[in-house]
Every structure is written in structure tokens, then in C-alpha cells.
A and B are shown apart, each in its own frame.
Chain A
Amino acid sequence: MIETTRLILRKPEAGDAAHVQAFFETERSQFVGGPVPPYDGWRKAAMFFGHWTIRGYGLFTVERKDTGAPIGLIGPWFPEGWADHEIGWQIWRRENEGHGFATEAASAARDWCRTTLGWTRVVSYIAEGNEASINVAKRLGAVLDPNATQPESGPCLVFAHPEAA
């Protein structure tokens, strides 16, 4: 578990799947593979959980300390076909956007990946046009790396995170 000023990052629990499924039914998921029917949304949730089983780490569920509510998935992501280790983020509901939660959680997750997993080069893959996510990457100090190897899933913007201080 990781704690920041306003957030808790914890391993996903079964109850989080409904949030993932709901997110992937909305247009808000358009830059991360959605929207998709409930069957596929559930399978994506299972995949996020199973990444932990297969790799030993994965996206954390992020909870707000003030409400206790889970608001999204943020953290290390490294499926087959990824050229570099990634920090990914998804905030499920619009009401939790615009507060800097993704930036706060991703920053803490990035530190954790460096110290616990020993990651050095870290990127974020972002679909073109996903301005909210591009802004998070920039606030994290990541810069567009036009020479980076693209993931095999298809072309996207690759933001490289700064080396550890």
C-alpha cells in the first residue's frame, strides 16, 4: 500500500471490478480501448487483476482519503508487446478529474516502481487527442519521445518520464 497526502494506492479488490466495467461502458474510456460491452469491460477488469498474478505487480486502485471512494486505477503496466515499462492511469468518473489526483497518484506509483521494482526507463503511452492525460504526463515532468519504440498494439504518443532524482 502507498499513501500520499490525499490518496491511498492499494491492490485491487473484487468490488473494484464494477467501477472498471462502468467506466469502460462510457465515452470516458475512448482513449484506453473503450467503450465496450459489459462482457468485455469485465474481462478488462479481470485482466488488470491478472496482471498482478502474472507479473507480481500491476495497477493500484486509488482511493480518496476524504471519502474512502475508489476513483481509478494507476500504476505499473507491462503487458506483452510493451517496449518499455509504463505508468498508466484511468480516473473513472468526471467528478474526480481536475483535482490533480492522477498526478499525485502516478507520481507516488512511479517512485514505488523505481524503488521496489527497480525500474529505470519509464514511459506513458497516450492516445493522440487525450488532452487530459497529456496534461498529467506533462505535470509529471514527462516529455514526448518521438524516437521511442511504439507498443505493438498500435501507434500512440510515448511520454518518457524523467530519470530518478
Chain B
Amino acid sequence: MIPPTLKTERLSLVPLAERHFAPVRAFYASDRSSFVGGPKNADQAWRALASEAGHWALRGYGRWAVENADGEMVAMVGAWNPEGWPEREIGWDVMNGFEGQGYATEAALAARDWLYNEAGWTTAISLIADGNTGSEGVAKRVGAVEEARYTHETFGPMSIWRHPGLSS
């Protein structure tokens, strides 16, 4: 399926495309990606981007590239539910240089609205690695609460945060 384009006050959530590889590569090259499976070299980063794009084809939902008014990619935000995942997740990665401006929060709220209203979700979690305080801040701002511990065979120990449900 072709992902829809969503608009917020400052941002556009658009389908992932080839032009997003440069910021994704830079993100994965940096230690900032250490909480989400990085750092990765360019080859691995490209494959990660392709997997994100292919997630839409396999599940009917996935993550978007989040662009600002200048068309710069500021984040990758949306749904993530690969094989073996504990539950359907809303995830966010803020691209290098765009931290601290509320972009992840703004995009995650738009993504959650779409997942609840258009994709049939009624609840969602976010998995956050220990020590990723920036991501915990986003979780709190979108109303999620820390609910349980979880250990993934590849990514190790983390916390499950629960989003407000559809009717909340």
C-alpha cells in the first residue's frame, strides 16, 4: 500500500523514499542511534530504510518520513510491528540536528490519530531502551505511561510504554 500523507502544524508525514537515505544514513552513523540498533554502516542503514518502507507492504502500516516546511527530514515516526514483536508499536527516531524541537511529539500524535482512526488500532505501545531519556520525554508528552519491562533477544532490556487508548 502507498502510505498516506499527513499534515500537522509544522510538519508533513510522507512516504519514505530514496531522498531520505542521506539523513537516515547520518543518523545511523552516529551514536545517537545506539538505542535503536545502531550504529550501522551505510549498507546496513540502507537496508534498514528499505525494511521500513517494506513494512507498509507487509502490514498496511509503517513509519513515515517526517519533513519540515523546508522539506528537510527531521524524523522517522510511525508504526512498527515486525515478526515476533510483543505488540504493535509507535516509534520515533529524530534525525541529527533536529532534536529538542518537539518534532517527534507532534508527528507521533498525528501518526497515532491515523493508526487509531484509519488503521483500526485501539491501543499502542512504545518500546524504549534503558537510558534513552530523550525518547522517554516524548512518550510522556504524548500521554504514554511506563507499564512493564521487556527484553528483546537482539535489542536487550527495555521498557514498554502504553499509549492512551482510542477512546481516551
From the candidates A41, A49, A50, A51, name the one contacting B83 in the complex (CB within 8 A): A41
Please, could you name 25 A-B residue pairs with CB atoms under 8 Å apart, sorted by A?
A: A14-B57, A21-B83, A39-B83, A40-B154, A42-B82, A43-B83, A44-B51, A46-B58, A46-B82, A47-B47, A47-B54, A51-B50, A52-B54, A53-B16, A53-B56, A54-B17, A54-B18, A54-B50, A55-B18, A80-B21, A80-B42, A80-B45, A80-B46, A152-B42, A152-B43
Chain B interface residue bracket vs A: 20 to 34
- Do A79 and B54 have beta carbons less than 8 Å apart? no
A45 contacts the other chain (Cβ, under 8 Å)?
A: yes
- Do B43 and A153 have beta carbons less than 8 Å apart? yes
User: Beta-carbon contacts of A96-128 to B below 8 Å, as 1s and 0s?
Assistant: 000000000000000000000000000000000
Chain B nearest CB, measured from A145 CB (Å):
21
- Do A49 and B57 have beta carbons less than 8 Å apart? yes
Chain B minimum-CB-distance residue to A12: B57
B71 contacts the other chain (Cβ, under 8 Å)?
A: no
Residue in B16, B47, B50 with the greatest tally of chain A CB atoms within 10 Å: B50
Q: What is the interface size of chain A, counting residues whose CB is below 8 A from a CB of the partner?
A: 28
Residues in chain A near residue B84, CB distance under 8 A: 37-39, 42
Residues in chain A near residue B52, CB distance under 8 A: 46, 50
A48 contacts the other chain (Cβ, under 8 Å)?
A: yes
- Do B17 and A53 have beta carbons less than 8 Å apart? yes
- Do A39 and B82 have beta carbons less than 8 Å apart? yes
Beyond the given A49-B58, A152-B43, please list 9 additional residue pairs across the A-B interface where CB-CB is below 8 A: A37-B84, A43-B51, A46-B51, A49-B57, A51-B54, A54-B16, A54-B21, A54-B53, A80-B46
Residues in chain B near residue A81, CB distance under 8 A: 42-43, 46
- Do A50 and B57 have beta carbons less than 8 Å apart? yes
The complex places the Cα of A58 from the Cα of B45 at a distance, in Å, of 18
Interface residues of A (CB under 8 A from B): 12, 14, 17, 21, 37-55, 79-81, 152-153
User: Beta-carbon contacts of B45-73 to A below 8 Å, as 1s and 0s?
Assistant: 11101111111111110000000000000
5 tightest A-B contacts by CB? A50-B54, A49-B54, A42-B83, A80-B46, A50-B53
B153 contacts the other chain (Cβ, under 8 Å)?
A: yes
B38 contacts the other chain (Cβ, under 8 Å)?
A: no
B23 contacts the other chain (Cβ, under 8 Å)?
A: no
B15 contacts the other chain (Cβ, under 8 Å)?
A: yes
- Do B16 and A79 have beta carbons less than 8 Å apart? no
The complex places the Cα of A54 from the Cα of B54 at a distance, in Å, of 9
With A21-B83, A38-B83, A80-B21 given, is the CB distance from A53 to B46 under 8 Å? no
